[in-house]
Amino acid sequence: MKENYEIFESEMNELFENKSYKKMRELIEDTPEADTAEYLQTLETKNALLVVKLMPKDLAADVFSYIEPDYQEQLVGIASDEEIKKLIEELATDDAVDMLEEMPANLVQKVLRNANANTRAEINKFLNYHEDSVGSIMTSEYTSLKSGMTVGEAIEYIRKVSYHKETVYNCYVLGERRKLIGVLELSDILGCRDDEELIENLMETNVIKVETHDDREEAVRLTQKYDLFALPVVDSENRIVGIVTVDDVVDVIEEEATRDIEQMAAIVPTETPYLKTSTFSHVKARIPWLFVLMLAGMLNGVILGKYEVAISALPLLVTFMPMLTGTGGNSGSQTTATVIRAMTLDEISLRDSFRVMWKEIRVALIIGVTFGALNFARIYFFTDDPDRVMMGLVLGLAMIFTILMAKTLGAFLPLLAKRIKLDPAVVASPMITTIVDVVSLTFYFNLAMVLLGHRI
């Protein structure tokens, strides 16, 4: 569809130059909101604002919700109170909250001052939810039916309100005091051929739902497990307060995967897109872990310092170091990444800890013994050092030990982190690599002192 967007962009530019505003408006009305938003961001803000004003206000709000936060901020900065008033009343609550969460306080004030009392109260409520909670991703526009309605009445009602809801495809049936008593799909209602049938006879009473303060990952899990388009959100008294729609769930999934990847790569998680992040912010996200891991590397240096005599006498020992620590680090990373990902995808839980550890130990033994034997054979057959048996044993045994330790720790630490309610990704590969380096080098040099002591 890239081509479609490019045609649209050049047509718009031409119309804009010729000041053909009526034609621009017609073209925008035939174009997906996301494309119009992309186009606006190629313009100077004052021109973008001019184009926004051409659109009917509901369309303008839809387009606005697709614009990147920093550009939204610039637009709000130069917009008049009147323009902001129109915008904020038309934006869906979740889109308004997304926008305000990223804005500096003075602009938040400017926006809220122009919202009417209801909207303002609603937005303030949403802004108070923790950013990892279901409340932070829900929307308050949903379709509710009363249990006493018939199929015919429900269809009539939905036809009347459908333009004001984020979705009408999942309908929530409310009992007394807005309590959620059932759910049904619009297709269930339409598919019922009897207009006099009661909604409460069609609805599903076993409702899959979340509470506002639940972790948003719970909403992700349920949406995926049950293949839902929308998930109702209730308060502690089972009164419906909003819904989470699948497009917001998709965003959470992407964010969580990015966070896992960043933590695996020793980066402090950020939320802005790559090119929108300043050089200095990139530095700030990368320097902390890099510094901690450099200090840990110094610790390795201190340990090696204790073996300076051995190194001077047998520099051959040093030549095997990169291979040994490298293989250890990679073995540990493999296990940690696998275990963390399996936890994110809910494939394993803490109950499975022993099965996971046992599996990793078996995998490590198979790989360790294979690689240990290969290294022994390589030294035995391809070097002519008089101590080649002992040298081969030192390297081979160190290899087995290193892989076994790397994979055991690589599984144990993320499980432990989860158990004590830390984010498992915090103990991801870089930290494990460092621990593995320290322990394996200590083992390697001590073994060398024992088996090759006569040379040192």
Please say which residue, 49 or 395, places its beta carbon nearer to its own copies: 395
User: How far is Cα of residue 377 from the mean position of the Cα atoms in its chain?
Assistant: 46
Q: Which uninterrupted H or E stretch holds 6? A: helix 2-17
- Enter the DSSP assignment of 297: H
Please say which residue, 50 or 321, places its beta carbon nearer to its own copies: 321
User: What residues have CB less than 8 Å from 321, skipping those under 6 apart?
Assistant: 441, 444
- Minimum Å gap between C-beta 445 and its own copies is 11
Query: Can you read off the two tokens belonging to residue 303?
Result: 């340990």
- Minimum Å gap between C-beta 124 and its own copies is 26
- Minimum Å gap between C-beta 80 and its own copies is 29
Of 47, 46, 15, nearest to 28 by C-alpha is 15
Please say which residue, 57 or 120, places its beta carbon nearer to its own copies: 57
Q: What residues does 179 pair with on adjacent strands?
A: 239
From CA 281, how far away is CA 271, in angstroms rounded? Answer: 11
CA 45, 50, 54, 57 torsion: positive or negative?
A: positive
In angstroms, the Cα distances linking 320 to 33, 90, 225, 306 are 59, 66, 48, 18
Please say which residue, 106 or 279, places its beta carbon nearer to its own copies: 279
Residues 108 and 100 sit within 8 Å (Cβ to Cβ)? yes
Please say which residue, 127 or 285, places its beta carbon nearer to its own copies: 285
DSSP string for 331-388: HHHHHHHHHHHHHHTTS--GGGHHHHHHHHHHHHHHHHHHHHHHHHHHHHHH---TTH
Of 384, 401, 397, 408, nearest to 450 by C-alpha is 397
Please say which residue, 106 or 274, places its beta carbon nearer to its own copies: 274
Please say which residue, 66 or 110, places its beta carbon nearer to its own copies: 66
Please say which residue, 56 or 191, places its beta carbon nearer to its own copies: 191
Query: Can you read off the two tokens belonging to residue 292?
Result: 């901690």
- Minimum Å gap between C-beta 46 and its own copies is 26
- Minimum Å gap between C-beta 396 and its own copies is 13
From CA 154, how far away is CA 198, in angstroms rounded? Answer: 9
Of 323, 361, 343, 359, nearest to 428 by C-alpha is 343
- Minimum Å gap between C-beta 109 and its own copies is 29
- Minimum Å gap between C-beta 178 and its own copies is 21
Please say which residue, 356 or 417, places its beta carbon nearer to its own copies: 356
Reported as half-sphere exposure (CB side, CA atoms, 13 A), residue 133 has a value of 14
